Amino acid sequence: MEDLARVLKHVDIKVATDSHIYLKDPDICKDCAEKPCTLFCPTGVFYWDKHLNITYEHCIECGACPFGCPFNNIIWTYPPGGYGVEYHS
């Protein structure tokens, strides 16, 4: 994905062992017709393949998750201390 490569070129991500992004109820996603999370995330963290997959390793901590899901189904926190994204030019 060319856009993803362009965004990730400007960040370093120290990936934690565990995800900092969770679903409250994965079954809700099955009935979510538009699945906007697969569109609003700038680095494509969410993708649908039989169920909602979350590639938390690509999260650049833009903070859109808690606001973008129409069912308030995403729990997003910052990665634990020392992990996560660091921006550079």
Query: In this chain, which residue has its C-beta nearest to ligand SF4?
Result: 32
How far is residue 13's CA from residue 83's CA, in Å, rounded to a whole number? 7
Residue 73 CB, shortest distance to ligand SF4, in Å, is 4
> CB-based contacts of 67: which residues, under 8 Å, 6+ apart?
none
Question: What is the SS3 assignment for 22?
Answer: strand
Q: Does 73 bind ligand SF4 (CB under 6 A)?
A: yes
Where do contacts with ligand SF4 occur on this chain (CB under 6 A)? 21, 23, 28-29, 32, 35-37, 41-43, 45-46, 52, 59-65, 69, 71, 73-74, 76
